[in-house]
Amino acid sequence: MGRTTRRLVLGAWLALAGATLGPNRGARADEGMWLINRPPTAAIKAACGIEPDAAWFEHIQRSCVRIGTGGSGSIVSADGLLMTNHHVGSDAIAKLSTPDRDLLEEGFLALSRADERRCPGLEVRILWQVSDVTDRVLSAVKPGSSDAEAGAAKRAAMTSIEAEAQQRDALVSEVVTLYQGARYHLYQYRRYDDVRLVFAPEQQAAFFGGDADNFEFPRFNLDVCFFRIYDDGKPLRPEHHLGWAETGVADQEPVFVFGHPGRTRRLYTLDHLAFLRDVELPARLARVWRTEVKLQTYSGRSRANARAAADDLLGVQNGRKVLTGQLAGLLDPALMARKRADETALRAFVESDPERTARWSDAWTKVAEAQRAYAAFFHRYDALGRGRPPLDGDLFDIAWTLTRWNLERTRPNEQRLREYRDSEADTIRLKLFAETPFNLDLEKEKLAAGLTWLAERLGGGDPRVVEALGGKSPADRAAELVDNAVVIRSVQSRKFVEPSGRQVIEKNRDTLIRLALALEGEARQLRVRYEDEVESVERAAYAKVAAARFAKEGENLYPDATFTLRVSFGAVRGYRDGGASIPAFTTIGGMFTRAADRAGDPAFALPDRWAKRRDKLDPKTPFNFICTADIIGGNSGSPVVNKDGKVIGLIFDGNIHSLVGDFVYDGTLNRALAVDARAIAHALDVLYDAKDLVKEITGKQ
């Protein structure tokens, strides 16, 4: 779990395509995370009664921002002001804090441009253009190739396309796999890495109610912060930015959400879902529980510890809630019955025709085979990180990236692990050279926990474990690893080592680099095995599943989420839950009522400023609202706009029923939660004395 991977920053959901879905069919008009280059104009017209044109979409697209740490945002002023969630910015805010001044706890307001604080390691991207490169990717596959060979050829083609496009257009270029393998689109971005903090409220205001209220509604969260994008040392003068709605939003009004949903798995086959349910989710949950307990224990030891681990703890609690919700969905017979009905109908459609049978009918078996192949090495691959750093902690993350970056660059660009391709070099270096503070005590704690976890998963006598522990207990070893990480703890030394290549890195004496080297080899072998035996097989099979679906239902289907810009639409709308009627809006006054109801619980304590300035606030101001737009983790910080493209809110969470959105969308219960734009402007004005900021976003005094 990275520090900011929480709430909607990461998540997962899976959409059934629209046509054949039985009982819930009628309720799902608002379903879909649609490609920005293929917006569902007819469906929007049917649902909302308006027909936005291409210029409307392009304006909003180029006002939107993808944030490096895993969230979404939008530019809301002519001077490059960037709005997102506090919980998307919290990692950066934490890194700007010092032992004397905890900006998460206190909040922050830059009193002038000079006071805006640059965030080390933070980058944002604006999607500039998208094109379809499916033909070129697929034509790289030689006839008669095995699935593994085809997969390698496609990955190599993607990397070549990116390298060419990057050079040609001076835009960061990324080929994205859609429909799990049926389509490939080239996404090209403007990239900015000078991002400065302008405003953040107290975390207690942003996350009032804490873990208990996370994914619940009614809510009362001012989950917003503002950054400013700088270009060449000056505030960016963007070509596009979003205006602020003058009058707010009303119940039942149509709304649009533009953001970067991270991942859904709505197109997975039943066998694939069974693998998630029985193998992958239990393994991930086991680690999340462990991490949560470890962080709670660490936090319990002192107030300083609690502060140091607060953001991590929120992240892991959020992850636990997401995974628990997903597993509950997969254990829900009604959900699985719906998935089964859909798959049965699609397979019957294929098998009702000899040609379709010949082309596509083996796809489901292939996916099942891939899961069986994966199960054979999943637990070992999982213990070794499943493509990510196998141990936690910022220092190890840097050591792992630096080590791999040196090793991978000894290979041709097209043969590297994809995240180390040349087109990502700037982003990799930004991370490696960021001047961020480390809490060495917490780093040791995380490494000790990680080493213990490795030993638990692989056994104390396993060669990787023996090498990682170096004859010491996990706690002693963790202390030694951090104390002697002389290269990794110094940006200067990292800059010196970064261009070294394999031989130098393999001889480096830095303890964390040596640890990364001890684990990296087998981790890479398993990664390649995963790509060859699982991913490549799945891609080939899912291309067939998608083709069958297109044949049956037409091409007007949205692909699963891929952390690329999508548009969702729907309406502001309450719902009924277990007999109770949940209205669509909360008010600022409601927050004070809730705080009184839960007096004594620190999660519901009012921030000092809110308690003291209560009489300045208009209690009737709408605070949070819910809408039916289809979102998922990664959508955190997405702007909610009205039919005029004006900002009316800011997505910050989904309700508890949205957690199964990884697999299905249910419009009767699934709701996206947003901070009302009126609450943002009102709080900035009367609580935080941020009049200049209010003027900048609303254009009004």
Q: Considering the complex, what minimum distance in angstroms separates the CB of residue 599 from a copy of itself?
A: 9
Least gap, CB of 289 to a copy of itself (angstroms): 4
Q: Which helix (H) or strand (E) holds 159?
A: helix 147-169
Crossing angle for the helix pair 425-432 and 394-408, to the nearest 10 degrees:
140
Virtual CA dihedral for 339, 344, 347, 351, nearest 10 degrees? 180
372: tokens are: 């069986």
- At closest approach, how far in Å is the CB of 268 from a copy of itself? 14
Integer Cα distance of 507 and 578 in angstroms = 63
Token pair for 518: 């001890």
Minimum CB distance to a copy of itself smaller for 240 or for 290: 290
- Burial group, residue 291, by CB count within 10 angstroms (0-12, 13-18, 19+): buried
Whether residue 61 contacts residue 36, with contact meaning beta carbons closer than 8 Å, is answered with yes
- In the complex with a copy of itself, the residue whose CB is nearer, 230 or 381, is 381
How far apart CA 586 and CA 591 sit, in angstroms, is 8
State the amino acid at position 469 in one-letter form: L
Alpha carbons 169 and 153: distance in angstroms, whole number: 24
The backbone torsions φ and ψ at residue 571, rounded to the nearest 5 degrees and listed phi first, read -145, 155
The DSSP symbol for 16 reads: P
Least distance from a copy of itself to the Cβ atom of residue 371, Å:
12
Closer of 205 and 469 to a copy of itself (Cβ): 469
Place of tokens 């709701």: 671
Q: What are phi and psi of 566, to 5 degrees?
A: -135, 160
Nearer of residues 116 and 213 to a copy of itself, judged by Cβ? 213
Cα separation, 407 vs 256, whole angstroms: 44
Least distance (Å) from a copy of itself to the CB of residue 691? 34
Closer Cβ to a copy of itself, 317 or 401, answer by number: 317
- Cβ proximity to a copy of itself, 81 vs 295, nearer residue: 295
- In degrees and rounded to multiples of 5, residue 328 shows phi and psi of -60, -40
> What sign does the dihedral 547-549-553-557 (CA atoms) show?
negative
Q: Which of 293, 310, 311, 290 is nearest to 302 (CA)?
A: 310
Compare residues 213 and 676 and give the one whose CB is closer to a copy of itself. Answer: 213
Strands (DSSP E) found in 406-524: none
CB of 368 to a copy of itself, least distance (A): 13
Question: CB of 317: closest distance to a copy of itself in angstroms?
Answer: 8
From the CB of 437, what's the least distance to a copy of itself, in Å? 25
Q: Select 149 or 211, whichever has its Cβ closest to a copy of itself.
A: 211
Q: Which helix (H) or strand (E) holds 585?
A: strand 585-587
Of 375 and 434, CB closest to a copy of itself: 375
Q: How far apart, in Å, do the first and last CA atoms of the chain sit?
A: 42
Question: CB 484 → a copy of itself: shortest distance, Å?
Answer: 18
Q: How far is the CB of 98 from a copy of itself (least distance, A)?
A: 21
Residue in the structure block whose two tokens are 């996350």: 207
In angstroms, the CA 422 to CA 231 distance is 23
Q: Please, what is the minimum distance in Å from the beta carbon of residue 218 to a copy of itself?
A: 14
User: What six digits make up the tokens of 124?
Assistant: 């944002």
Please, which residue, 45 or 576, has the CB nearer to a copy of itself? 576
Contact 378, 534 (CB under 8 A): no
The contact set with a copy of itself (CB under 8 A) reads 210-212, 274, 277-278, 281-282, 285-286, 289-290, 292-293, 296-297, 300-301, 303, 320-321, 327-328, 330-334, 452, 455-457, 459-461, 469, 471-475, 598, 600-603
Nearer to a copy of itself, 212 or 376 (CB): 212
Name the DSSP letter for residue 18.
S
Q: Cβ 325 to a copy of itself, closest distance in Å? A: 11
Report the nearest approach of a copy of itself to the CB of residue 614 (Å). Answer: 22
Half-sphere exposure in the Cβ direction for 170 (13 Å, CA): 1
Instruction: Supply φ then ψ for residue 244, to 5 degrees.
Output: -105, 130
